[in-house]
Amino acid sequence: VNDIVVLGPEQFYATRDHYFTSYFLVLLEMIMDFHWTYVLFYSPREVIQLGTLVDNLTVDPATGDILTGCHPNPMKLLIYNPEDPPGSEVLRIQDVLSDNPRVSTLYANDGSVLQASSVASVYREKMLVGTVFHKALYCEL
């Protein structure tokens, strides 16, 4: 488990940012570009596959939506090249308690503007995106 957001005494969200726990297998997972990460909602247990390397979670206080900073190309994160930097991605998960949660992309970039996004927060239709080792990004939604 990489990150946990507690909603109440019996409800929480968690991200699993790697399938394997062995350091060698985690490296192999990133090199092979496996997208085996997910967001887990507990109460009752539900798993949402996102097809990207999920990092940290936040909850939009106004809507209850989940936002997550993601790494669309984890190999570039592992082996950094300033000429071909890792991209950034921010996903929003809406209606997580329904039978059909909706996942949408709030931000995506190939690394030319923002590298290696790891977290995003919104407040009054404005978003702040943090990164692993790069700058932060502020934008209006």
Instruction: Express each pLDDT in 68-108 by its tens digit.
Output: 999 999 889 889 999 999 999 999 999 877 778 899 999 99
In the chain the domains, ranked by start, together with CATH numbers, are 3-140 (2.120.10.30)
Please report the beta strands in the chain, taking only residues with DSSP state E, as ranges in sequence order: 3-8, 11-16, 38-42, 46-49, 53-59, 66-71, 88-94, 102-109, 117-123, 126-131, 137-140
Predicted TM-score (pTM) above 0.75: no
Q: Is 56 annotated as a binding residue?
A: yes
Q: Is 3 annotated as a binding residue?
A: no
Chain segment 51-60, per-residue pLDDT in tens: 888 899 898 9
Backbone φ and ψ of 74, nearest 5°: -60, -25
| Candidate ranges 23-32, 72-81, 115-124; pick with highest mean pLDDT | 115-124
Contact 71, 86 (CB under 8 A): yes
Q: What is the pLDDT of residue 34?
A: 73
DSSP state of 87: -
